[in-house]
Amino acid sequence: MMKINKIASINEKDIPEPGALAAYVKVLKLYLDDNTVTPKFKRLIENLPSPRTVKSKLSWEECKILFITINYLWKNIIGKDILEENYIDEPKQELLGNYWLFKNGIMINGENHYTAIERDSSLVITVLGLNGITLQYYLSTSPNKLINYILKNGGVRVFINADNKGFFQMTEKTYAQWGRGKVRKYDLKTKIVRIIDLKMPYNGWKSGIPIKL
């Protein structure tokens, strides 16, 4: 049973939306299928509601309680704190370095954009609805081919420099559907978005038409 004071101490702004919570649940259940975990963690994962239930039936208070369990499992199994490293819906904290941003408000970071996808491939597969074999193929090719594949499927490439300037890269479809709105929420000195044309060869950060938000 989760302690009441622990639940009450969570800032409601830090709770991921149901779609993001459902994605985390799906990743944990897939992880259980492919890996051996302690009986305690296995029981907790098995008792998590289905992703469909999370998205359609849970109340806000139930989502709040569920998030405590998900974050606990994530820290102990995946080795990260969702609040600190993976989830940023209303970006208020200072960011620095390379990130990938996804529609459900999930963000991952890494030494570079290739290694971030390689390290969190299970999460990326679930969030973007990718075929695992196809992603493994792109992981075996050049970094630019992998990055273009993720952009094509709805990911947003992000780089924040030491001067608090943000650079974003995404497709026109992603920009129109949700990317523009997400980028505008960041408290950055400068926000430059590069809209790439999927019909053109991808050439890293040089690709795309720059737009200043």
Asked if 47 and 143 sit in the same domain, the reply is no
For residues 111 and 205, membership in a common domain is answered with yes
Query: How many domains does the structure of the chain reveal?
Result: 2
The confidence score (pLDDT) of residue 172 equals 95
Residue 6 has φ and ψ, to the nearest 5°, of -65, -45
Rounded Cα gap, residues 194 and 167, in angstroms = 8
pLDDT at position 166 is 95
Instruction: Kindly report, residue by residue over 66-115, the tens digit of the pLDDT.
Output: 888 888 888 887 666 665 544 444 444 468 899 999 986 778 888 899 99
Going 61 to 51 to 132 to 101, the CA torsion angle's sign is negative
Residue 186: pLDDT band by 50, 70, 90 thresholds? confident
Per-residue pLDDT reduced to its tens digit, 135-163: 999 999 999 999 999 999 999 999 999 99
Q: What is the pLDDT of residue 55?
A: 83
- Of 86, 114, 144, the last residue of a domain is 86
Domain end marker among 35, 51, 86: 86
DSSP structure string for 24-71? HHHHHHHHHHHS---HHHHHHHHTSPPHHHHHHT--HHHHHHHHHHHH
CA–CA dist 46, 105 (Å, integer): 25
Beta 165-171 vs 156-160: how paired, if at all?
antiparallel
